[in-house]
Amino acid sequence: MNYLDLTGGGWKTLNINANLDSSDLDENAGIWTIYKDGNSSSNITLNPVAGGSSFMTSQGYYQTLSLDLDSLVFDIALVDESQYTIEGIFNDKVIYRGKFQTTAKDLGNYSINKDVYVEKVTNNNYTILD
C-alpha cells in the first residue's frame, strides 16, 4: 500500500508500476484520476509533465508519480487517514489502478513488524479419529 504523507505540503511521491517505457514518460505520462473510496466522481485529474505540478520518473522496474500538494487544486481536499483509488490511462488503455492511504504521521518512525516475530502456536497433534 502506498502512503501519501499530508504533513508539510510540498512534493510527495507514489511508487507505482505502470509498465511504461522511459520514452513514454518523456512525451506524456497519461491521464491520472484520483477518487476517494466510495465516490464515483474524481477528486483530481492529473496530466503529469516535466516542470508541472505533477510528473513521473522511471526508477527501473517501477515509476514514481510526484505530486506538488501545494500547487495542485483538488475538488475535495485530501482527508487524513482516508483511502483513495488512483487510475492511470495512457493511449486509451488503463496502465495502472491502485490505492493509496493518506496520513499525517511521520512514516520514517513507523515500520511493519520490525524485529517482532510471533511463533505460531498450535495444539493440533495430528490425531486421526476413526
- Asked whether residue 40 is assigned to any structural domain, the reply reads yes
Alpha helices in 1-130 (DSSP H): 22-27
- Asked whether residue 14 is assigned to any structural domain, the reply reads yes
- Asked whether residue 26 is assigned to any structural domain, the reply reads yes
Expressed as residue numbers, the domain containing 25 is 2-109
pTM over 0.75: no
Q: Total domain count for the chain?
A: 1
- Asked whether residue 65 is assigned to any structural domain, the reply reads yes
The CATH number covering residue 57 comes to: 2.60.40
Is 1:101 a contact under the CB 8 Å cutoff? yes
- Asked whether residue 114 is assigned to any structural domain, the reply reads no
- Asked whether residue 116 is assigned to any structural domain, the reply reads no
- Asked whether residue 123 is assigned to any structural domain, the reply reads no
Facing residues of 47 across strands?
Answer: none
Give Cα separations from 85 to 17, 32, 99 (angstroms). Answer: 15, 10, 4
pLDDT tens sequence across 15-49: 888 877 666 665 566 788 888 887 777 677 877 77
